[in-house]
Chains A and B, each alone.
Chain A
Amino acid sequence: MKLLKIKDRHMWTLFVLPGTILLVLVLGFPAFQSILYSIYPEGGGTSYTLNNYSILFSDSVFRQVFGNTVLFVILSVASHLLLGLGVALVLNREIFAKPVFRLIALLPWVVPDVVVGIIWRWMFDPVYGAFNDLLLRIGLISTHVQWLSSPKLALLSVIFVNLWRGFPFVMLILLAGLQSIPRVLYEAAAIDGASRWQLFARITLPSLKKMLVVALALDIVWEVRRFGLIQTMTQGGPGNITEVLSTYIYKQYFQFFRFEYASAVAVIMTAALLMVSLPYIWMISQEE
């Protein structure tokens, strides 16, 4: 009987094993390979070197790309949080045809990145695009605006599309959070004479704190990895204005065949991602 209990206690390892092996194979092995590649000399070899990292940090294009990525992620995530929270608040209220609006709000998130990129690239076309046509018709602009070719507008245009494409994810998380806040808290505060702003600042926001951290951490990870949208809309141009780490790695690896250098960039990107994910990991471990 005792033997059976011991066996039972260890039974979970058997259930976890297949998943663990799969994870190690599909995630751990390539990650290990990337780290290994990143310390090989460029062009191949068996010796180890940190040369790829020193090239990377002294490369002005890499620094520009890193800066672009930070800007892209900050603006994307901030706009996702603001719009996501706003829409979640609206959809949490008793409004007409709520399920329909919830479904509509989710649609941009369902469409693949590449499809979104191609559609918006056409919509932003200076000559044929629907965007310029609409703005010209209503008199907001008087000439063809080069949304994706202008150095001042290209990154902002991509971020705008990314806002449209990515806010439903944040909205979904926050909406779930909003629905879990007990109504009695609002009713009690209302009886005490709390204003709408006070209800939001003292009840809604503190109650959503965990959800906001989850949304923030996950969205940062998603946005750092964002590839298809930028690749299809601008390919990193004009110049290197919209080049971000994911498109840069792709270009170095698959177009220039600089496997070792691209791996070093990927390792740096992963390290940066791990650092921003730490609060999320810490929060999850605290809960457990």
Chain B
Amino acid sequence: MRWFRISIFAVLFLGIVIGLSTFANAQEKVALRFSDWHLTESPWDKTLADAMALFEKRYPNIKIELEPVSYKDKEPKYTVELAAGKGPDIFHVHAFSLPMFFDKGFAMDLTPFIEKEGGAKYLEAWYPLCMNMMKHKGKVCAMPGDYMSMVLVYNTELFKAAGLDPKKLKTWEEFLEYNIKLTKAPERWGIALPGAKDPGFELRFSPFLWSFGGDYLTPDHKKSVLDSKEAKEAFKFFVELYTKHKVMPPGVTSMNPQDVRTQLAHRKIAWEIGSGWTAPIVNAINPELKAFDVLDAVPLPVKKNKVTTIWLSSWVMSPNTKHPKEAWELMKFITSKEMELNWFVKNRVTSSRKDVSDVAPEILNDKFASVIASQLPYGKVVPQIPQWPEIVDAFTTAVQEAMTEMKPPEKALADAHHRINGILARKK
């Protein structure tokens, strides 16, 4: 009898434990790993943290784990993790990296989710150019984020003091003249362009090349065209800003975009090639400058072509995610009209959504955003091929070799041309 009572008690106890644990499991939150290089940058870090808190409030069953990563290390980190079957559920990369991720199968096909949202009608909200860059073999494998053009961001006070009006700037020759007048070495230089091996380099150098009528590759991406007269002219013009005219501060070949912004924030340079993110970051580096008041923006000068580089970021869902449904909810949230406007209001980045960038009064009336938006029709993107990181590394090496006078510009460019042809010829 005693054993019978004990058995009954044990069964009841076990039942309660199983029941409670099942209830607890049902209540357990789904954890999503969210990674973005902006989490390491002020003021973006706070904006993102606030947005994720809002998402968690709206989706009480989902918990967001923030994973900061530096801008430069994001691709290595994600590829290693994804190759190991792990990785963040949602992560942010610039669109130029997408071909590499697509090539390795490191991006979830979002087409089934988009179909459920209305398919083509749902995607109408975005600029077609941006959506096209998210596609791989006809499938949508990422969603577009920030969409901006590169412009000249200048310090109005320094230009006023030099008696120059950047709004009258038309040609690259005038650009050089302006820089010569602005340079008061060793106290101040006209411009700094990041020459380090950093993804920010191509964004700033490419307008020189394209505007002079040159390009990196043939339209079919099979050969380098850096041996063209126009490419040589653009390369020489860029290098001589540093070597001959000395309008850039010493050490630009080891500067990354943040180093350049630091120079702008401390009035060491008068302008730089930047975009919507420039003023908030400069403001965070040196609030005393009052960047939002003191800085302003103008389009880039023109040689043969009116052209600038397009910056486009993208959101990718990991193919390894265990919670695709919840990850899609997060993807929808961060690319929503509400959040895209929020990113602009808080961080001044314009959106790849037409229903935000084309209509929001906050954007249309902003002194930076209006210039950036006006240049989008002249925007061009660097080649979207998996070999691009290696090609741009070979090219940056040539720029550094020419700027530090290790090689004459013609020789450095010719070497890069041959190396790039070698990269393209290699069987992939």
Known: A127-B268, A144-B250. Contact between A257 and B197, CB under 8 A? no
State the interface size on chain A (CB cutoff 8 A). 30
Task: Give B contacts to A, CB under 8 Å.
Answer: 75-76, 79-80, 100, 103-104, 186, 196-198, 249-254, 263, 268, 386-387, 389-390, 393, 396-397, 400-401, 403-406, 419, 426-428
Q: Are A127 and B251 in touch, CB under 8 angstroms?
A: yes
A216→B268 CA distance, assembly (Å): 45
Task: Give the residues in chain B near A148, CB-CB below 8 Å.
Answer: 251, 254
Q: Are B251 and A255 in touch, CB under 8 angstroms?
A: no
Task: Give the residues in chain B near A251, CB-CB below 8 Å.
Answer: 393
Known: A42-B427, A127-B268, A144-B186. Contact between A255 and B76, CB under 8 A? yes
Task: Give the residues in chain A near B254, CB-CB below 8 Å.
Answer: 121, 148-149, 234, 237-238
Check A96 for interface membership: any CB of B closer than 8 A: no
Ordered by A's residue number, 8 sampled pairs between the chains whose C-beta atoms are within 8 Å are A126-B251, A127-B186, A146-B250, A149-B252, A150-B404, A151-B405, A151-B406, A257-B103
Please pick, from B75, B198, B263, B406, the residue contacting A127 in the complex, using a CB distance under 8 A: B263
A253→B76 CA distance, assembly (Å): 8
Using CB atoms, name the residue of chain A closest to B80: A254
8 Å CB interface, A111-142 against B:
121, 125-127
Q: Are B400 and A238 in touch, CB under 8 angstroms?
A: yes
Q: Of A41, A61, A238, A256, which is in contact with the most chain B CB atoms at under 10 Å from its CB?
A: A238
8 Å CB interface, A241-268 against B:
241, 250-251, 254-258
Q: Are B389 and A256 in touch, CB under 8 angstroms?
A: yes
A40→B104 CA distance, assembly (Å): 17
A254→B186 CA distance, assembly (Å): 39
A149→B251 CA distance, assembly (Å): 5
Q: Are B75 and A255 in touch, CB under 8 angstroms?
A: yes
Task: Give the residues in chain B near A239, CB-CB below 8 Å.
Answer: 397, 400-401, 404, 406
Check A235 for interface membership: any CB of B closer than 8 A: yes
Q: Are A238 and B250 in touch, CB under 8 angstroms?
A: no
Task: Give the residues in chain A near B251, CB-CB below 8 Å.
Answer: 125-127, 144, 146, 148-149
Task: Give the residues in chain B near A61, CB-CB below 8 Å.
Answer: 419
Task: Give A contacts to B, CB under 8 Å.
Answer: 41-43, 61, 121, 125-127, 143-144, 146, 148-151, 234-241, 250-251, 254-258
* Nearest CB of chain A from residue B89's CB, rounded to whole Å: 21
A43→B423 CA distance, assembly (Å): 13
A140→B252 CA distance, assembly (Å): 23
Please pick, from A43, A126, A237, A256, the residue contacting B197 in the complex, using a CB distance under 8 A: A237
Task: Give the residues in chain B near A41, CB-CB below 8 Å.
Answer: 427
Using CB atoms, name the residue of chain A closest to B419: A61
A258→B198 CA distance, assembly (Å): 19
Q: Are A238 and B404 in touch, CB under 8 angstroms?
A: yes
Using CB atoms, name the residue of chain A closest to B394: A61
* Nearest CB of chain B from residue A25's CB, rounded to whole Å: 15
Using CB atoms, name the residue of chain A closest to B199: A255
A-B residue pairs, 3 tightest by C-beta:
A254-B76, A126-B250, A126-B251
Q: Are A238 and B249 in touch, CB under 8 angstroms?
A: no
Task: Give the residues in chain A near B79, CB-CB below 8 Å.
Answer: 254, 257
Q: Are B426 and A127 in touch, CB under 8 angstroms?
A: no
Using CB atoms, name the residue of chain B closest to A144: B250
Using CB atoms, name the residue of chain A closest to B101: A257
Please pick, from B252, B393, B419, B428, the residue contacting A255 in the complex, using a CB distance under 8 A: B393
Known: A238-B401, A238-B406. Contact between A127 and B250, CB under 8 A? yes
A169→B245 CA distance, assembly (Å): 46
Task: Give the residues in chain A near B405, CB-CB below 8 Å.
Answer: 151
* Nearest CB of chain A from residue B271's CB, rounded to whole Å: 17
Using CB atoms, name the residue of chain B closest to A148: B254
Known: A126-B249, A149-B250, A239-B401. Contact between A256 and B76, CB under 8 A? no
* Nearest CB of chain B from residue A121's CB, rounded to whole Å: 8
* Nearest CB of chain B from residue A131's CB, rounded to whole Å: 12
Q: Of A127, A149, A240, which is in contact with the most chain B CB atoms at under 10 Å from its CB?
A: A127
Q: Are A237 and B253 in touch, CB under 8 angstroms?
A: yes
A127→B396 CA distance, assembly (Å): 22
Using CB atoms, name the residue of chain B closest to A127: B249
A256→B389 CA distance, assembly (Å): 6
Using CB atoms, name the residue of chain B closest to A235: B197
Task: Give the residues in chain A near B76, CB-CB below 8 Å.
Answer: 250, 254-255
A241→B407 CA distance, assembly (Å): 13
Known: A256-B389, A257-B104. Contact between A149 and B404, CB under 8 A? yes
Q: Of B254, B404, B427, which is in contact with the most chain A CB atoms at under 10 Å from its CB?
A: B254
* Nearest CB of chain A from residue B393's CB, rounded to whole Å: 7
A121→B251 CA distance, assembly (Å): 11
Task: Give the residues in chain B near A143, CB-CB below 8 Å.
Answer: 186
Using CB atoms, name the residue of chain A closest to B263: A127
